[in-house]
């Protein structure tokens, strides 16, 4: 749907007990015949995203609420929940110290998770899931969706610098409802249409050495009107495959920026996606610090495209998909 014909429904939510005076700054993001209100909470010290705060996750009957959580340790990770008035799905989950917050969220849904999506097997994406599944404490997960992967030996040969420490723990689990998804698969996710655009397939090693990241699950969720594209940790080597395969079909309303905002697909991928809101799974030091990473370049690109930026500075951040 064209930007001029829909509301950008965005709410950035944060904890208020941070030490220092907290002010609220309302910004208006003008659209043709539409106005989007963005709540930006400013703090004098620290980041709101440091606090393990859980906002209201009930969207009522209006749609699906997507919540991005920040990292309390000021690290990069990926932790999202998707909620309806009755159901809960989780995307990745982040480091192990996120498990307590996730347990509290899950408890609010009767210790029931309808679907847990694991984009790939890196620690900053999967450790909390492993901690919970190793000691579920009554938690029931109906479906676990993830990707296949190359053999550990192959990955170690291709990328000896990578972290494979979570693989033995995952392989040791007996997971009911485990399903490996592939490019082209479509499933129903609590009434959302979930389409897998890319996932690990044999032969990926001919395209890239970064088999774990580039084998990530790239998927899109679609409501009646709105769409969000999750890019996980795919990198620049996947640009050609994704842009040639999907072209203008990459268009989305919201996007989770690949690989925490740096080292992801090239500019033409993001221009084809052309989102209104971009989620960077990145703390302040990665968004604004002086380093060799390209996060700042990608943020500048998205702002040039008139895109609202979300990061851990204001996390947890929420959007309502209708």
Q: Which residue has the tokens 């895109």?
A: 307
Rounded CA gap, 147 and 206, in Å? 18
Tokens for 209, please give them: 């050495």
Task: Pick out the chain residues at pLDDT < 50.
Answer: 1-50
Give the span between the Cα atoms of 154 and 203, in whole angstroms: 11
Question: What does the pLDDT read at residue 30?
Answer: 33
- Domains of the chain with CATH codes: 7-321 (3.60.15.10)
Model's pTM, two decimal places? 0.86
3-state secondary structure of 77: coil
Contact 101, 52 (CB under 8 A): yes
Q: How high is the pLDDT of residue 53?
A: 82
d(CA 136, CA 88): 16
How distant is the alpha carbon of residue 168 from its chain centre?
24
Give me 11's structure tokens. Answer: 């709410």
Q: Which helix (H) or strand (E) holds 213?
A: helix 211-214
One DSSP character per residue, 88-102 reads EEEEE--SGGGHHHH
* Pair 158, 223: CB distance under 8 Å: no
Q: Position of tokens 């659209």?
A: 31
Give the model's pLDDT for residue 52: 65
Confidence at residue 292, expressed as pLDDT on a 0 to 100 scale: 66
């Amino acid at each position: 749907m064209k930007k001029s014909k829909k509301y950008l429904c965005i709410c950035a939510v944060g904890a208020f007990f941070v030490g220092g005076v907290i002010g609220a700054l309302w910004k208006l993001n003008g659209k043709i015949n539409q106005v989007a209100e963005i709540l930006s909470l400013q703090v004098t010290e620290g980041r709101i995203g440091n606090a393990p705060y859980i906002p209201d996750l009930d969207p009522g009957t209006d749609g699906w609420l997507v919540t991005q959580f920040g990292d309390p340790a000021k690290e990069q990770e990926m932790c999202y929940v998707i909620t309806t008035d009755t159901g809960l799905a989780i995307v990745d989950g982040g480091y192990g110290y996120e498990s307590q917050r996730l347990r509290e969220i899950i408890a609010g849904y009767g210790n029931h998770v309808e679907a847990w999506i694991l984009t790939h097997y890196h620690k900053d994406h999967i450790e909390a899931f492993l901690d919970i599944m190793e000691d579920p404490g009554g938690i029931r997960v109906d479906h676990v969706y993830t990707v296949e992967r190359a053999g550990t030996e192959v990955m170690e040969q291709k990328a000896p610098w990578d972290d494979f420490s979570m693989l033995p723990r995952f392989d040791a689990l007996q997971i009911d409802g485990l399903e490996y998804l592939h490019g082209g698969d479509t499933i129903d996710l609590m009434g959302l249409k979930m389409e897998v655009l890319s996932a690990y397939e044999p032969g990926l090693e001919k395209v890239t050495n970064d088999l774990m990241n580039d084998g990530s699950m790239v998927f899109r969720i679609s409501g009646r009107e709105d769409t969000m594209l999750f890019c996980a940790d795919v990198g620049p080597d996947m640009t050609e495959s994704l842009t040639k395969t999907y072209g203008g079909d990459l268009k989305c309303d919201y996007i989770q920026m690949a690989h925490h905002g740096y080292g992801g697909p090239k500019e033409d991928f993001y221009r084809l996606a052309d989102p209104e809101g971009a989620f960077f799974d990145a703390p302040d030091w990665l968004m604004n610090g002086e380093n060799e990473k390209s996060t700042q370049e990608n943020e500048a690109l998205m702002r040039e495209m008139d895109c609202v930026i979300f990061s851990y500075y204001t996390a947890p951040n929420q959007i309502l998909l209708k």
